Amino acid sequence: MKHTEVAVAGGGIVGLTIALELASMGRQVTVFERQRAMSEASWAAGGMLAAADPENPPALHSLSELSRSLYPQFLARVAELSGMKVPIRTRQTIQGTSHLPYGFFTLDATTLNTLAPGIETDGRSFFLLEEDSLSPRDLARALPPAVRAAGVALHEDCPVLSAQENGSHVKLATAQGEWTADILIHATGAWTAELTGAPSTPRKGQMIEVQLPQSAQLDVVLRTEEIYLIPRGQGRVVIGATVEDAGFDKEIDPRAIEELMATAASLWPPVRGAEIVETWAGLRPASPDELPMIGPLENGAEQKKRREQRIWLAAGHFRNGILLAPGTARLMRQMITGATPSVDPAPFRCDRFALSSGQ
């Protein structure tokens, strides 16, 4: 039986970023990924680092800000290790809202039309956010090699089939044999309930990429409560997204695509002439209160009885897992090593929910 200090189940952005953080402090880390790393929600995402989205739950604020502050060094480290740069594609977002949040100012019509020529306000106020976006496809190319270069063993096509705490270690059954680990971190996204019983359910998002006609140009993200348009450069724009409870189904529904295109065109009419170049769907991992679950996978009473915590959880990042990954990794490292957390982990405690019989 093989042994690793830290086992991570799940090779999405959350699992890989935690692996990178722990490997950087000298831990021996092994990641087990059911299929290809970065091929699920972390590949399908829009890539907005939307820390100031007024739709975000207020309890997410401190973790969002921590993550946002860590992003430049995270991307620099990925580039240094992989030799691949993950560029920031946009630096600003124009947010449309029916209720202007405190501290923001409505953009005047001239400024609005300069930033997003042709935008239809439809009675909404628009304000400007200094907010970055990146392409998750860039990250999906660079992060797995970066993690490997940091010394992490990344086993693809290797699902964790079961995991049990066994005295001084955790015993794992994987598709490529049995392992023991000092600690195990579950980061299996929408599939987390299967192994842990923690309530992370899939929320389907259908997405479109279009090629704009030459006459149209967009350099900032446009976002309302209903729709977002994210420029990727060279006239490509990603439009999203549906939020559906459809189990693990990732089929594309042409009616949903038509509706997304119509909603996008009602906000920004120049998109009407665009050619659809790709459609896809991904599964956001959502907890019942739409906040992530980060911490020990046990209830408080059981945890107090033990000296060492062996099984941990980082899942349920819902609409913001790309943004939240570096902050989650930092918080996880601090909790595992007993360091003072940079943000209060209380809103993300796993024991705010009962576990089902999955564990």
Distance, CA of 104 to CA of 270 (rounded, Å) = 27
Q: Give the CA distances from residue 251 to residues 136, 218, 226, 247, 286, in Å, rounded to whole numbers and listed in that order.
A: 20, 29, 21, 11, 19
Interface characters, 230-259, with ligand FAD (x: CB under 6 A): ----------xx------------------
Shortest reach from residue 290's CB to ligand FAD, in Å: 11
**Nearest-10 crossing angle of helices 321-337, 61-82:** 90
Instruction: Please say which residue, 209 or 298, places its beta carbon nearer to ligand FAD.
Output: 209
Question: Which residue in the set 4, 18, 19, 33 belongs to the binding site for ligand FAD (CB under 6 A)?
Answer: 33
Give the x/- contact pattern for ligand FAD in 164-203, rule: CB under 6 A: -----------------------xxxxx---x--------
Pairing of strands 275-286, 201-211: antiparallel
CB 322 to ligand FAD: min, Å: 3
Burial of 279 (C-beta count, 10 Å sphere; 0-12/13-18/19+): middle
359, two tokens: 């564990």
SS3 39: coil
| Residue 46 touching ligand FAD (CB under 6 A) | yes
Given 6, 7, 9, 329, the residue binding ligand FAD (CB under 6 A): 9
Of 276-335, binders to ligand FAD (CB under 6 A) are: 282-285, 315, 317-323
| Residue with Cβ nearer ligand FAD (318 or 348) | 318
347 in contact with ligand FAD (CB under 6 A): no
301-337 in b/e burial notation, b at 16+ Cβ within 10 A? eeeeeeeebbbbbbbbbbbbbbbbbbbbbbbbbbbbe
Residue ranges that bind ligand FAD, judged by CB under 6 A: 9-15, 32-35, 39-42, 44-48, 50, 159-160, 187-191, 195, 205, 207, 240-241, 282-285, 315, 317-323
